[in-house]
Structure 1
Amino acid sequence: MKNLFIALFILALGGQLFAQPIDTAATIIIEGNQDAELAYNNGVKQLGQNLYDQAIANFSQAITIKPEFTQAYVNRAAAKTAKLDYRGALTDYSKAISIDNSIADIYFSRALMYYNLKKNDSALLEFDVAFSKGSTKAELFYYRGVVKFAMKKFDESIADFSQAILINPTYAYAYNDRGSAKRMLEDYKGAIIDYQNAARLSPKLAFIYNNLGSAQRKSGDLEAAIKSYDLAIQWKADYALAYNNRGSAKFDLGKYEEALIDFRKAVTINSSYAPAHNNLGTCLMKIKKYNEVVDAYSTAIKLDSNYGVAFFNRAAAYEMVRKSVEMCMDFQKASELGIDAAKNYLGDCQ
């Protein structure tokens, strides 16, 4: 019986989708609005020190004194963003725009908040407004590409990542994410080239090597994939995803004992990582350690009760230990969760 096997990759996402302050330089104190400017300047200083609550308090004080203080709203939004208060940040950016609708970067920052709130259509509209207001920076095209990637508009995301690279040829994140979009379109050769360029530009970013390895594995170059995963682990020793994926490549090469070591390492680093438990079970099945197989799949299912692949694989394990009732229950559940292959075995359960 064929087991279903999982390997994963990641999108760079530019590190974090956090908006940045538009202006963190202290303003000149002018007689007549001195209190507002002093509070604002204190907020700017605290924002630079990552003292977000204090910064918010000072920006709020500045706004109370001077209600039309655009920069105070923008920087308060940045502080709220750092605290993951995306709704609060969105409100502040909107207020800033209502005061002064000419600043492209505020629309750009508001677009990021819409994305963080999973309002992708609104995010795209905001990026377009930022562009119409004169923003042509690489980050605009990069993050618009990120949003389009999330919407599975891979061809469009590639166009945006390409524009970001045209503006900034050293933009490693844009190369990485363009590679990921190409990978989703099964253009593995193109993905590999982009990941290699990203790694050349930022050789210490572990996730790039993980993604490169996944594209190489998809293209059938398993030995190269393993070397890329080695580099990912070299730069990030606790990289559970890379251990899982390296185990997947070794499994494909029939190096089951070596794969087993990697899968065990992955679940040791991250015990809540369901795909690694599934893969551990599949590897144990291959080397006929049936007593451990069911436990591995059961752990994956405990972590993700909608994990159809794990139900299917556990059913196969139950078949090997002659537990037909449990086998049939798992095949039924796998079928309900969309694993079509499970339907082929339900006939034996009648």
Structure 2
Amino acid sequence: MEQSQTVEQLFEQGRAAHTSGDFSKAEQILSEVLSLDPSFVRAYVGRGLTRTQLSDSPGAIEDFTQAIQRNPDIANAYYHRGFARADLGDNQGAIEDYTQFIKLKPDFARTYFARACARGELGDKQGAIEDYTQAIQLNPEDADAYVNRGASRADLGDRQGAIEDYAQAVYLKPDFEVAYYNRGNSHDELGNEQGAIEDYTQAIKLKSDFVEAYRNRGLTYARSGNEQRAIEDFTQAIYLKPEDASTYYNRGLAHSELDDKQRALEDYQVAKEIYLSEGRMADYQDVLDRLEELESS
């Protein structure tokens, strides 16, 4: 009885260390608990959580597995092992763990969300949509689930469905810049250039260093014939990400459309050097053709 009390007291000390953020101390204490009582299931789960915080996913998986072997109905061990497996790129293993957790606790929205993410990583977009839908049914206020379902719908070509999901996301979370950006992409793919520009603009207002939003708004401006605004956006994107060859290339195209041969040549030259350094030979050849065409004109 005395040893049992000591083990329980040590366990509580380990939990307290974890709660306070001293994860190394928590791991040390919980390891001591398990050396005294190797059958202490909660200590395996606790140390697994601590090892997760220490970025030791393999160690965490080992601990959660030990807990499951001793108590196959301990739902949280499946849930957290799923996250650790996903962290290591084992999305199929993660899906299996999330599925087992759902069997034990079918009403926890975040598990459907997590399984949807893993399914999406494996290319199962329809399965991801089904899980995001279940997550939304359980938690209709989850803006992230709407955004992710929208992205999966867009991947399957359902741009209108994606737009509806992004709209719901920004309704729930008006400062959600990614939702505006994604909706801008879907508007652009449907040919709604004005709607795309408005959404990219809102995304930029919310996140002033949103490189992709500047770049895509620039591309939309260029397609709509507003090369000057396109150049301004490409210039800002280059300021934020000067190593992006494609943005120099696209700015070169816009300068060329405005018959600014010198600036177009300068941008193509930079794009050429970056493409070559990155080994992107098809793009390198394309910009060489542009340079040759421009220099001979």
Shorter-chain-normalised TM-score: which range? 0.7 to 0.9
Aligned residue number for residue 162 of structure 1: 99
Alpha-carbon displacement from aligned partner over 1:28-49 (angstroms, at most 9, x marks no partner)? xxxxxxxxxxxxxxxxxxxxxx
TM-score, normalised relative to structure 2: 0.83
Structure 2: gaps of 5 or more residues: 1-8, 257-263, 293-297
Larger helix share, 1 or 2: 2
**TM-fit CA distance, 1:112:** 3.1
- The one-letter code sitting in structure 1 at the alignment partner of 2:33 is I
Does residue 330 (structure 1) correspond to residue 267 (structure 2)? The answer is no
Q: 1:178 and 1:73, CA in 2 relative to 1: closer, same or farther beyond 3 A?
A: closer
Q: 1:245 and 1:335, CA in 2 relative to 1: closer, same or farther beyond 3 A?
A: farther
CA distance in 2: counterparts of 1:341 and 1:120, whole angstroms: 39
- The 3-state SS of whatever aligns with 1:257 is helix
CA distance in 2: counterparts of 1:94 and 1:235, whole angstroms: 43
**CA RMSD between the two structures:** 2.5
- The one-letter code sitting in structure 1 at the alignment partner of 2:85 is K
Does the 8 Å contact 2:218/2:231 carry over to 1? yes
CA distance in 2: counterparts of 1:135 and 1:242, whole angstroms: 39
- 214, 222, 229: which one aligns with 1:292: 229
**TM-fit CA distance, 1:287:** 1.7
Q: 1:136 and 1:273, CA in 2 relative to 1: closer, same or farther beyond 3 A?
A: farther
Comparing 206-215 and 184-193, the one that deviates more: 184-193
Does the 8 Å contact 2:14/2:25 carry over to 1? no
Q: 1:299 and 1:167, CA in 2 relative to 1: closer, same or farther beyond 3 A?
A: farther
**TM-fit CA distance, 1:179:** 1.4
- The 3-state SS of whatever aligns with 2:107 is coil
- The one-letter code sitting in structure 1 at the alignment partner of 2:266 is V
Alpha-carbon displacement from aligned partner over 1:39-91 (angstroms, at most 9, x marks no partner)? xxxxxxxxxxxxxxxxxxxxxxxxxxxxx7431232122121xxxxxxx3133
Indicate the percent of aligned positions where both proteins have the same amino acid: 23
- The 3-state SS of whatever aligns with 1:321 is helix
TM-score, normalised relative to structure 1: 0.71
Does residue 144 (structure 1) correspond to residue 81 (structure 2)? The answer is yes
Aligned residue number for residue 115 of structure 1: 52
1 or 2 for the larger relative contact order (CA 8 Å, sep ≥6)?
Answer: 1
**TM-fit CA distance, 1:133:** 4.0
Does the 8 Å contact 1:141/1:160 carry over to 2? yes
Q: 1:313 and 1:160, CA in 2 relative to 1: closer, same or farther beyond 3 A?
A: same
Structure 1: gaps of 5 or more residues: 1-67, 81-87
- 221, 234, 252: which one aligns with 2:189: 252
**TM-fit CA distance, 1:333:** 1.5
CA distance in 2: counterparts of 1:280 and 1:116, whole angstroms: 39
**TM-fit CA distance, 1:280:** 2.0
CA distance in 2: counterparts of 1:117 and 1:301, whole angstroms: 36
Comparing 164-173 and 106-115, the one that deviates more: 106-115
